[in-house]
Amino acid sequence: MSQRGRGTIQQAGEPTGMRLDKWLWAARFYKTRSLAADEVGRGRVTVNGQAAKSAREVRVGDELQVRQGDVSRTVVVRALSAIRGPAIVAQTMYEESAASLALRAAAASARRLASEPAHAITQGRPTKRDRRAIERTQVDWQRWSASIDST
């Protein structure tokens, strides 16, 4: 006996849908199920272009947009699994779109070409040691304050 669901034929006993947070955990997008639920609650995951909740049912063929930090992925659900297996098996549960792969590659190359954050430290806020050195060189330095009393 089979059931029809979303244009695919499912065998009796096979799940036709599962919770979004559980699928994200099983597909290894997030390390724990509670992290997946938190990210869904923050609006960083959409299902078929709509905001979703953790308990939303995900079915084969649904399109998910998952944002992890600066990286945004668009994937199509290809399989459902209630258990978290090896990474190679988890990668067969979804298919990433070509546009999403191109955007991730462009973001990775932009990160590689970006300036080193340590270079900004020399131009940023002084450390405690730097501040003390500045105070030693500027003995006559006083703070300027605009107040009513000063004339």
What residues make up the domain containing 14? 2-104
Number of structural domains found in the chain: 1
The pLDDT, as a whole number, for residue 138 is: 72
Domain assignment present for 127: no
Per residue in 55-109, pLDDT tens? 999 999 999 999 988 889 999 999 999 899 999 999 999 999 999 999 999 989 9
Q: Is residue 121 part of a domain?
A: no
Quick check: is 52 in a domain? yes
Residue 136 lies in a domain: no
Task: Look at residue 9 and tell me if it is in a domain.
Answer: yes
Distance of CA 117 to the CA centre of its chain: 21
> What pLDDT, on a 0 to 100 scale, did the predictor assign at position 118?
64
How many Å apart are CA 75 and CA 120, to the nearest integer? 36
Q: Dig out the tokens for 123 from the structure.
A: 């131009």
The pLDDT score that the predictor gives to residue 101 is 94
Q: Does the residue 45 lie in any domain?
A: yes
Give 45 or 139, the one with higher predicted confidence. Answer: 45
List, in order, residues 6 or more apart from 2 with CB less than 8 Å away.
Answer: 9, 10, 11, 12
Has residue 53 been placed in a domain?
yes
In the predicted structure, residue 1 carries a pLDDT above the cut 60: no
Q: What is the CATH number of the domain that holds 17?
A: 3.10.290.10
CA distances from 63 to 39, 53, 77, 104 (A): 17, 15, 6, 17
